[in-house]
């Protein structure tokens, strides 16, 4: 019950233009489930689906109505924070990371889930495509440096 990737990019394109016109910050966070393939391989795809649904519910209730939460890819989600500064996006991302780390699944208590998060801020010099690329770059850094962490990439 999250927004689609197409809706996300339409929303992001519009909100970045609006943020430039009215001088307010917009930030992005790309959230990826760590070791998702291992969860599917070890516990089965039904458990993997349960993990995706639980994370989607958590993300949906963790953000404001003015923010946009969408499924970005397989086990990735992207959040656009309306009027979200560097401080806000890193604080919120860290809170999400910690909350996910502590999720207890009723039917599968042995399943442990963590996420890596890449975040950035869109500014007036940055096209929305570049913002997504910067957040992806920060996510890759989080994954390569040990997973289960938040990495912020400053805007261009």
| 133 is annotated as an active-site residue | no
> What CA–CA distances, in Å, run from 119 to 28, 41, 43, 111?
5, 29, 30, 26
Q: In what order do the strands lie in the sheet with 115-122?
A: 68-73, 76-82, 26-33, 115-122, 150-153
Among candidate residues 54, 75, 86, 94, the one labeled active-site is 75
> What CA–CA distances, in Å, run from 12 to 42, 56, 80, 82, 86?
36, 19, 7, 10, 17
Residues involved in catalysis = 75
């Amino acid at each position: 019950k999250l927004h689609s990737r197409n809706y996300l990019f339409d929303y992001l394109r519009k909100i970045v233009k609006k943020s430039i016109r009215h001088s307010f910050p917009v930030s992005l966070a790309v959230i990826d489930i760590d070791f998702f393939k291992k969860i599917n391989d070890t516990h089965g795809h039904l458990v993997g689906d349960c993990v995706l649904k639980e994370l989607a519910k958590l993300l949906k209730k963790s953000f404001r109505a003015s923010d946009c939460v969408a499924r970005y890819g397989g086990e990735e989600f992207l959040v656009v924070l309306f009027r979200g500064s560097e401080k806000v996006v890193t604080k919120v991302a860290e809170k999400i990371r910690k909350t996910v780390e502590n999720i207890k699944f009723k039917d599968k208590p042995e399943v442990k889930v963590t996420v890596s998060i890449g975040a950035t801020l869109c500014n007036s010099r940055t096209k929305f495509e570049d913002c997504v690329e910067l957040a992806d770059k920060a996510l890759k850094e989080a994954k390569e440096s040990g997973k289960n962490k938040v990495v912020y990439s400053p805007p261009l």
